[in-house]
Structure 1
Amino acid sequence: MPARSSSGLILTVLLLLGFAGQSAHASITIRVQLSTQTMLVAVDGAAYATWPVSTARRGYRTPTGTYRPYSLQRMHYSKLYDFTPMPYSIFFHGGYAIHGTFEVRNLGRPVSHGCIRLAPERAQSLFELIQAQGPQNTTIEISP
């Protein structure tokens, strides 16, 4: 009978214990405060970024509550609003998403139809962070 290598034995033990194939992923918490039009991002509880956002203007609503991203799309075009480009879309509730906007002059004010808008480079950073760590490890909290 051939001798087992020590690395093979370690792999067998890890498989039996259920550890193989699991990689460590950080937890991401995204907190959007509608009253201040700000987004705070934390990674494993440590502050990562604070950014201005634009949420729903009068007559529209940004849903409040706690969500997980269910779809990430590098480029999405709104079917409701004249195929407006929505770069780095992170969908979290129905048709609502966090996404980049080219109307950066309006960040910090409620001007959207309900989505949460970010500067394009910040939307890209957030999108890539969620992609790397996994949507299942991401929580989006939206409060009044």
Structure 2
Amino acid sequence: MSVLRLVVRLTCLLTAFAAAPAWAAMYDMPPPGSDVVGQIQHIKTEASDTFVALARKYDVGYRDLREANPNVDPWLPGDGTPLIIPTAYVLPNVPRKGIVVNVPEMRIYYFPDSDSQYAGKVFTYPIGIGRQGWSTPIAHTYIAQKIPHPSWTPPASIKKEHAAKGDPLPDVVPAGPDNPLGQYALRLGLPSYLIHGTNKPAGIGMRVSHGCIRLFPEDISALFSMVPVGTPVNIVSEPYKIGWDGSTLMMEAHPPNAGGAAPVKSYTPWVQALIAATKDQPKAPVNWDKGEKVVHNAAGIPQAIGHDPHKHDPSITAHADAASS
């Protein structure tokens, strides 16, 4: 690594996180029969930009930007370089209730209850997940406790790991800027697992934790304020998400191993996922060559792989209703 790149990298890791993201993570739930929220953004970088800083600004993960822009230097993208901000999402193919964590996507979704003031919305945030040897589990659980300003009691295994590196940990890390749990934590029904903030935002969109799920400080603050105790949490593995955007069949692919290490549990082959997603429309035209290309590129961007001219497009009805009212 050049001296210039090293200086840029260290500077960004230390100073690039003061500002809140410029883009909201709240979307209207798509109408019945549709599964896509958000839209892709296209920007041009400035000379001072890095993927770490841009990830925080646009509320996406570091790896999201790497997947969508594989030919751009993440530390020195340059001035005026075209960049894709991947802020469109096929919703996971699971019940839209409570919290859904898609591990290979490194993203969390929150679907508020019908009696919530946020009913009819979906919230989504990038996350950091467990690194190799500390994988985030695939499981059904729930929010067992909400903890503002948490302290951290490192388990013996983590204390041993840090001691071996010459970085011993205290028995208890008090709440504050040095606490790796950040300012808010949601304790899961799974023993020892949390959804929490972080004092190292550069790790969002990476495999960096000991299995817990990390969010940007501003994202955990928002989620913490909305989610009640008892909220169901569904942690899934969907590297290949398929859904409808009106009458267009869309596919979004992510690396199935979530980071190049141990395979993700419950790995779903893309062909099986595509068949399952179209089982209710057996005559839906699918371009399998396009689907295979989406999987091969794993760019994390919803892309069209088919169109069903006979499928009802709810957006057309919505426009017609608006015009007649």
- Normalised by the length of structure 1, the TM-score is 0.71
Match of 2:234 among 102, 117, 141: 141
Aligned mates of 1:101, 1:91 — CA distance in 2: 15
Extract unaligned runs of 5+ from structure 1. 1-26
Match of 1:73 among 128, 147, 150: 147
Deviation of 1:102 after TM superposition, in Å, equals 2.3
> After superposition, what is the alpha-carbon deviation per residue over 1:91-135, rounded to whole angstroms, capped at 9, x for unaligned?
0021110001122122111110111000111101111112xxx31
Aligned to 1:51: 125
Match of 2:224 among 127, 135, 141: 127
Asked if residue 117 in structure 1 is aligned to residue 186 in structure 2, the reply is no
> After superposition, what is the alpha-carbon deviation per residue over 1:33-70, rounded to whole angstroms, capped at 9, x for unaligned?
11010111111374421111001001112121111111
4+ long deviations beyond 2 Å: 44-48, 81-85
Aligned mates of 1:40, 1:103 — CA distance in 2: 21
Deviation of 1:28 after TM superposition, in Å, equals 5.7
Equivalent residues, number: 114
Aligned mates of 2:202, 2:180 — CA distance in 1: 17
Aligned mates of 2:120, 2:199 — CA distance in 1: 29
Q: Which has the higher strand share?
A: 1
Aligned sequence identity (%): 27
Match of 2:102 among 33, 36, 51: 33
Root-mean-square deviation over aligned CA pairs? 1.9
Aligned mates of 1:35, 1:47 — CA distance in 2: 23
3-state SS of 1:49 partner:
strand
Query: Amino acid of the residue matched to residue 124 of structure 1?
Result: S
2:135–2:210 CA contact under 8 A, matched in 1: yes
Extract unaligned runs of 5+ from structure 2. 1-95, 114-118, 159-168, 174-178, 238-325
Aligned to 1:17: none
Aligned mates of 2:99, 2:123 — CA distance in 1: 10
Aligned to 1:18: none
1:77–1:85 CA contact under 8 A, matched in 2: no
| Change in CA separation of 1:100 and 1:60 when aligned onto 2, cut-off 3 Å | same
